[in-house]
Amino acid sequence: MLELRDYQQDLFEKIVRGWEIHNNVLAVMATGGGKTVLFSKLIQVLGQDVPHKNKLILVHRQELVMQICVTLAKFKVSHRIYATSKVVKLICAAEVREVGTALYYDSNAPVAVCSVPTVKSRGLDGFLRNVSHGVIDEAHHVLKDNIWGQVTDMFQGVKWLGVTATPLRADGKGLGAHSDGIFESMVVGPKGRLLIDRGYLSEYRVMAPAPEVDLAQVKRSVATGDFNKNDLREAMATAQVAITGSVVDVWHKYASGKRTVVFAINIDEAVALEKAFVASGVSAAAVSSKTDDTLRGSLIRQFSTGGIMVLINVDLFGEGFDVPAIEVVQMVRPTLSYALFCQQFGRALRIMEGKGKALIIDHVGNVMRHAVKYGMPDIFDKWSLDARSKRKNREDVGEIPYKTCPECLAVYPAYTDCPYCGPLPKEPAAERTLEVVEGDLIELDNELLKALSDQKEIIDEGNGEHCARLEAKYMPRIGVLAGLKRHKADQLSQGYLRYTIDCFGGAEHISTLTDSGAMKVFYYRFGTDILSAQSLKAKDADELTIKIWRYLDEGTI
């Protein structure tokens, strides 16, 4: 019987509990966390609990059909395959290579792996009409009105489990049944950062050479929410020579000898990159959906064993491609989709003996585009089934800028120094009378500093002291009482605000920062420094408290 890791077992139990209430449950787990292992275990258990009913695994690409079938074989789960005889032969050959036998392929098995287009084109046969439970891989694709929704709608009474690492769509549509999708509830596994810290995923380093492509005039596609492909193709074509040279040169300088997957925008670019790598003495190959199935499988195997050092793909390995041998990801495909960015990023995070840190090299600004809003893929986990338009307005939460180190090209948050080079030499500052306040990210002169400190002291003073100060101004008794009432309100609001600031400082995503770093993050997020925040009157203090709690509770979407 297949054994799960503790976090996988926890998510497994959440799924089972979710099915007790709902038919369609979405499970979210970080890229590389073992989603295929999780639902293979689920299929295994369901085979014992509901033996007279069939189980179905739906995917959208042949590579994923093969990968899932091999995983099922590893866990001794017999399965049938809905595919052409040629594809079935390729999958059986893969199972022989990986498991030593193809005996777990069984055309009469109660478990089937199938692509969505195949079900759509073939319709339901006797097997599919007797399905009780189904798994939908890469379920962020599923909407009521697309092919995924149409296929799931063909089944009656089936309990569906959707699995994904990124339940977030660039077009802003929600995956919930109350919105644009089919899922009634969502269960979420641990952040990728926790899996990295526990040794289940690889630590990484991010580098961002200066982008060679100008995307300012590239429009957003209404259909996908990502860059318009025609506009993007033209923009990339203009900068192709510079980009190609940069990709190859940077690889030789920082990634030489490491197996690398490159994400290209189109086939022409992929072929140009292949030629450039080969010309520089590196074994490389370009693959896409147009590549012959047998050849594509052979190239992937050669890459896994080290026969090919660089594999350049076009929209092929962004989802579900599980090869631990990937040490480097080079991004040459710009995207507005945070989900696609996370998927590409995660390709290099699988662990492998002797691998060391994964290296992410971003040539097109994807890291800067997404990290400032959501954070790195291993940190963000504030997912929702709602459409973006239905989510609470997050415009009151600021973005944290990132920097690229001019020395080593490492990307890091602006509130800290380069993790590899340390503090960079500072340029001589011009003469001025301003004092730089550590951790506040604003420059204050002494007069303003004193005013803020005095205001904080007034808010913090006792009731008797406050009354005495008002009386010293010859304020009438009724004015003193009214002032005392406002003072108590200010203190109450400041008490809530300061507690909330403490909670922010202790939040998991900045728990490793210094106090100065936490203060800088606070300033970026909320547009005010902590000293000024502690000087706010009741109304403004209450508004800031609400902003902070929204951020802590809901994330930055």
At 216, the pLDDT band (50, 70, 90 cuts) reads confident
Q: What is the pLDDT of residue 174?
A: 94
- Contact by Cβ (8 Å): 159, 132: yes
Q: What is the pLDDT of residues 341-365, one digit of tens each?
A: 998 999 999 988 888 899 999 999 8
Q: What is the pLDDT of residues 82-100, one digit of tens each?
A: 998 988 998 999 899 989 9
Q: What is the pLDDT of residue 399?
A: 74
- Contact by Cβ (8 Å): 313, 262: yes
Q: What is the pLDDT of residue 515?
A: 65
Per the prediction, the chain carries an average pLDDT of 85
On the question of a common fold for 6-190 and 196-391, the answer reads yes
Class of domain 196-391: alpha beta
Is 81 a residue whose pLDDT tops 70? yes
- Contact by Cβ (8 Å): 158, 182: no
Is 48 a residue whose pLDDT tops 90? no
Is 334 a residue whose pLDDT tops 70? yes
- Enter the pTM of the model: 0.78
Is 242 a residue whose pLDDT tops 50? yes
Q: What is the pLDDT of residue 415?
A: 76
At 442, the pLDDT band (50, 70, 90 cuts) reads very low
Phi, psi of 424 (to 5 degrees): -85, 150
Which has more pLDDT, 425 or 508?
A: 425
Class of domain 6-190: alpha beta
The residues with which 55 forms a beta bridge, in sequence order, are 111, 133
Q: What is the pLDDT of residue 20?
A: 94
Strand order in the sheet with 159-164: 80-82, 111-115, 54-59, 131-137, 159-164, 24-28, 185-188
Which has more pLDDT, 378 or 515?
A: 378
Half-sphere exposure of 122 (CA within 13 A, CB side): 15
Is 331 a residue whose pLDDT tops 90? yes
Q: What is the percent of the chain with per-residue pLDDT over 90, rounded to a whole number?
A: 40
Count of CB atoms situated within 10 Å of the CB of 443: 11
At 513, the pLDDT band (50, 70, 90 cuts) reads low
Is 542 a residue whose pLDDT tops 80? yes
Q: What is the pLDDT of residue 192?
A: 92
Q: Using CA atoms, how far apart are residues 167 and 163, in angstroms rounded to an integer?
A: 9
Which has more pLDDT, 150 or 514?
A: 150
| Alpha helices, H only, 153-292 | 192-197, 229-238, 240-250, 267-279
Q: What is the pLDDT of residue 557?
A: 37
Q: Name, of 215-224, 366-375, 514-523, the range with top average pLDDT.
A: 366-375
Is 18 a residue whose pLDDT tops 90? yes
Is 438 a residue whose pLDDT tops 50? no
At 525, the pLDDT band (50, 70, 90 cuts) reads confident
Which has more pLDDT, 154 or 223?
A: 154
At 480, the pLDDT band (50, 70, 90 cuts) reads confident
Average pLDDT for 201-205: 94
Q: What is the pLDDT of residue 472?
A: 87
Average pLDDT for 445-466: 74
Q: Using CA atoms, how far apart are residues 348 and 350, in angstroms rounded to an integer?
A: 6
Q: Which of 308-322, 428-442, 480-494, 512-526 has the lowest mean pLDDT?
A: 428-442
At 397, the pLDDT band (50, 70, 90 cuts) reads low
Q: What is the percent of the chain with per-residue pLDDT over 70, rounded to a whole number?
A: 88
Average pLDDT for 274-288: 95
Q: Which of 92-101, 154-163, 261-270, 491-500 has the lowest mean pLDDT?
A: 491-500
Do the bridges between strand 204-207 and strand 358-362 make them parallel or antiparallel, or are there none, so unpaired?
parallel
Query: CA 2 → CA 19, 56, 70, 92, 164, distances in Å?
Result: 21, 19, 14, 21, 21
At 416, the pLDDT band (50, 70, 90 cuts) reads confident
Is 243 a residue whose pLDDT tops 60? yes
Could you write out the three-class secondary structure of 287-331?
ECCCCCHHHHHHHHHHHHHCCCCEEEEECCCCCCCCCCCCCEEEE
Q: Which of 43-57, 325-339, 442-456 has the lowest mean pLDDT?
A: 442-456
Residues in the chain: 557
Domain ranges of the chain: 6-190, 196-391, 435-554
Q: What is the pLDDT of residue 321?
A: 64
